[in-house]
C-alpha cells in the first residue's frame, strides 16, 4: 500500500470500538457525524456505536461516498462550490437551491457540505435548524416542509368536452364546441365564440370551474386560462386543438 498522501487533511476520529490503530494506509481516515443529533437532544441507540464504526459491519453506505462511481456534474473546479467555500471562509452564509431537474431521480445539485442546500421534501422527518443572519441580528428556525398525505383523491364530477357541429353550421370555416357540466359542477366560458383573423392565428378563452364539494367538507373555485385553439388552411380549413382542456382535482388544487 502506498503511503498516506501529503495533502491529506482528514482525521481519524476515535469512539466506541474504534481507535487510531484502525486507520492505516488502506483506511486513512474516518469520521462520525453525530454532533447534530446530540445537539437536538437525541441519543444514539444502544444497538449502534457512537463512532465511525458501523455496528452492522457492512460499511458500504459510507465507503461508497468516497470510493463509489462517477457522479454527474461533480468536479474539483465547480465555480459554485469554490465561490461558496471562499464566502464561508469569510463568515458569509451561502444558501443554494437543490433544483428540480436531477439529473436523475432522487438526486440534487449544490450539495457541497459548506452550502445550505434548500429544497422541498416528501419525507416525514423533522430536521430543525437555526440560521443566523445579519451579523447575528436575525435568527430563523426552519425545518423541512412536506405534505402529510402525498396523494389526495376526491370523487369530484368529471368534465366532458365534446366537439360537434349542427346541420346549419356545417361550413368549412365554422366549428362548434360544447361543454356539459355534470351534477355538482358549474362551468362558464368566455368569450362564447372565438374569431380567427388569419392563418395560424391564436385565440384564448377563459373557463370558470366551480365544484361544490361541501359533502366533502370543502368548496373550491378556480379561474384559469386553460389554453388556446388554432386553425390552418392547409386541409379543408380544419381547426386544430393545440391545448386540450383537462380538469382534475388533486392535493387541494385544480390541474
* Among candidate residues 50, 53, 58, the one with its CA nearest the CA of residue 23: 53
Is residue 153 one of the residues assigned to a domain? no
Domain residues for 16?
1-68
Residue 17: predicted pLDDT: 87
**Residue 173 shares a structural domain with residue 197:** yes
Q: Of 49, 68, 87, which residue constitutes the final position of a domain?
A: 68
Q: Of 34, 68, 102, which residue constitutes the final position of a domain?
A: 68
Q: Of 147, 181, 202, which residue constitutes the final position of a domain?
A: 147
**Residue 58 shares a structural domain with residue 79:** no
Q: Which three cell numbers stand for residue 48?
A: 449502534
Is residue 96 one of the residues assigned to a domain? yes
* Among candidate residues 30, 63, 31, 249, the one with its CA nearest the CA of residue 152: 249
In whole angstroms, give the CA distance from residue 232 to residue 33: 64
**Residue 168 shares a structural domain with residue 84:** no
* Among candidate residues 142, 146, 74, the one with its CA nearest the CA of residue 110: 74
**How many structural domains compose the chain?**
3
Asked if residues 185 and 211 have their Cβ atoms less than 8 Å apart, the reply is yes
**Structure-model confidence comparison of residues 166 and 137, the more confident one:** 137
**Structure-model confidence comparison of residues 5 and 67, the more confident one:** 5
Average pLDDT of every residue of the chain: 68
Residue 156: predicted pLDDT: 46
Is residue 154 one of the residues assigned to a domain? no
Percent of the chain with pLDDT over 70: 51
**Residue 167 shares a structural domain with residue 247:** yes
Residue 170: predicted pLDDT: 46
**Residue 81 shares a structural domain with residue 54:** no
**Residue 125 shares a structural domain with residue 176:** no
Is residue 214 one of the residues assigned to a domain? yes
| pLDDT tens by residue, 23-76 | 888 888 888 888 888 887 788 878 888 888 877 665 555 555 555 556 666 777
Is residue 47 one of the residues assigned to a domain? yes
Is residue 24 one of the residues assigned to a domain? yes
Using 50, 70 and 90 to split pLDDT, how confident is the model at 85? very high
End-to-end Cα separation, the chain, in angstroms: 60
Amino acid at each position: 500500500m502506498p503511503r498516506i498522501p501529503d495533502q491529506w487533511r482528514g482525521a481519524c476520529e476515535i469512539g466506541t470500538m474504534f481507535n487510531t490503530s484502525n486507520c492505516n494506509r488502506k483506511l486513512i481516515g474516518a469520521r462520525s457525524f453525530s454532533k447534530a443529533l446530540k445537539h437536538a437532544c437525541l441519543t444514539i441507540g444502544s444497538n449502534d456505536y457512537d463512532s465511525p464504526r458501523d455496528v452492522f459491519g457492512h460499511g458500504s453506505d459510507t465507503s461508497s461516498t468516497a470510493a463509489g462511481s462517477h457522479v454527474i456534474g461533480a468536479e474539483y473546479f465547480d465555480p459554485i462550490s469554490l465561490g461558496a467555500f471562499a464566502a464561508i471562509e469569510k463568515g458569509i452564509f451561502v444558501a443554494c437551491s437543490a433544483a428540480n431537474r436531477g439529473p436523475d431521480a432522487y438526486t440534487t445539485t449544490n450539495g457541497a457540505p459548506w452550502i445550505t442546500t434548500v429544497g422541498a421534501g416528501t419525507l416525514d422527518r423533522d430536521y430543525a435548524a437555526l440560521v443566523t443572519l445579519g451579523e447575528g441580528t436575525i435568527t430563523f428556525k426552519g425545518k423541512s416542509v412536506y405534505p402529510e398525505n402525498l396523494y389526495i383523491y376526491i370523487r369530484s364530477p368529471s368534465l366532458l368536452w365534446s366537439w360537434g357541429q349542427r346541420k346549419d353550421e356545417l361550413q368549412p370555416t365554422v366549428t362548434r364546441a360544447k361543454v356539459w357540466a355534470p351534477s355538482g359542477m358549474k362551468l362558464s366560458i368566455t368569450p362564447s365564440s372565438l374569431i380567427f383573423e388569419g392563418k395560424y392565428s391564436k385565440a384564448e378563452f377563459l373557463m370558470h370551474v366551480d365544484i361544490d364539494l361541501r359533502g366533502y367538507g370543502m368548496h373550491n373555485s378556480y379561474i384559469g386560462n386553460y389554453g388556446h385553439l388554432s386553425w390552418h388552411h392547409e386541409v379543408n380549413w380544419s381547426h386544430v386543438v393545440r391545448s386540450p382542456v383537462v380538469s382534475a382535482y388533486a392535493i387541494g388544487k385544480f390541474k
